[in-house]
Amino acid sequence: MQALRHFLLAVQFFSRIPVAGRLAAWVGWSPEMQRASAVHLPGVGWLVGLWAALLVALTHWLLVYTPWTPLLMAVISTVGTLWLTGGFHEDGLADVADGLGGFVPPERALEIMKDLRLGSYGVMTLVMTLLTKVALIVALATALKPLWAPLPLMALLLSAHVLSRFTPLVLMHCLPYVGLEASSKTLNITKQPLGWRGLMTGALWCLPVLPMLWWLGGGLLIAKVLVACSITTWLLLCWFRKRLGGFTGDCLGACQQINELAVLLAAAFALHQIV
């Protein structure tokens, strides 16, 4: 029952899904509970991924299949997930791009990342990330040719949202928190290292993804997706350690976004060989 409270607290923090009224009173809140809720971030990915999959299915149902269907699937599902999460992770990615885009000391980079204004590095990174995401979804939809049902694309989007939300937990496990405590939105979640138990809890949320990937492309797809996430997360970990000496809440959002692209890109390469 306590795990359910932690999960609902994660839903409340990482998305716009309402947890209010009597339900919020039952869930409760404390700094310790919010810290424990972080391990359920991949679980929030299931809800966001299901929402993206539902939007893909509705688009397919309304349009059946036309030359414009893949593009509309990509745009509508991307916009829908931005709305559901409030652009929470995208905001972190843009802040990281602003802070680390130039060659500034760690202290100055942290100050830039907490500035509410969006700089040129952040704008360029955010625009290119969203365009790349849409392009990859279009490529996958075209390759999978959802003439009778968009189920393969729905499964891939769901997998990408879940797996990409596990990778920030790896940063929390391996790096110290170095954010500015006075202005941090994620301080209660990040100020203490994530232990092995929390990391394993997050991994359990990801296990059901593996049968879906096996159904889509077998062991080759699973291997490419996991390798892509591992390499991307390791590179980000090394970069944040070198430039900042640790991670911030914005780094977690950037990690999620980049790994979402990594899953989609790996799937595109794998399915090109399978389909």
- Tell me, what's the pLDDT at 184? 58
> What is the distance between the alpha carbons of residues 215 and 155, in angstroms, rounded to a whole number?
9
The residue ranges of every structural domain in the chain are 1-37, 39-272
Q: Mind listing the pLDDT tens digit for each residue in 151-203?
A: 899 999 999 999 999 999 999 999 999 977 655 566 567 667 788 999 999 99
* Per-residue confidence band for 274, with pLDDT thresholds at 50, 70 and 90: low
For position 147, what pLDDT does the model report?
Answer: 52
Residue 59: pLDDT over 60: yes
Tell me phi and psi for residue 186, to 5 degrees. Answer: -115, 20
Give CA–CA dist 48/162, Å, rounded. 8
Q: What are 96-140's pLDDT values in tens digits?
A: 999 999 889 999 999 999 888 899 999 999 999 999 999 999 999
Q: Could you give the CA distance from residue 32 to residue 27 in angstroms, rounded to a whole number? A: 13
**Residues counted in the chain:** 275
**What is the per-residue pLDDT across 171-183, written as a single tens digit (0 to 9) for each?**
999 999 997 765 5
- Split at pLDDT 50, 70, 90, the class of 35 is confident
User: One-letter amino acid identity for 33?
Assistant: M
- Looking at every residue in the chain, the average pLDDT score rounds to 90
Residues with Cβ within 8 Å of residue 146, at least 6 apart in sequence: 60, 65, 69, 152, 153
> Distance between terminal CA atoms of the chain?
43
Q: How confident is the model at residue 64 (pLDDT cuts 50, 70, 90)?
A: confident
The predicted model gives 71-99 an average pLDDT of 96
Q: Is 246 within 8 Å of 174 (Cβ atoms)? A: no
In the chain, which ranges are continuous DSSP H helix? 2-14, 21-27, 31-37, 41-63, 69-85, 88-101, 106-113, 120-144, 151-164, 167-174, 187-190, 196-206, 209-243, 249-274
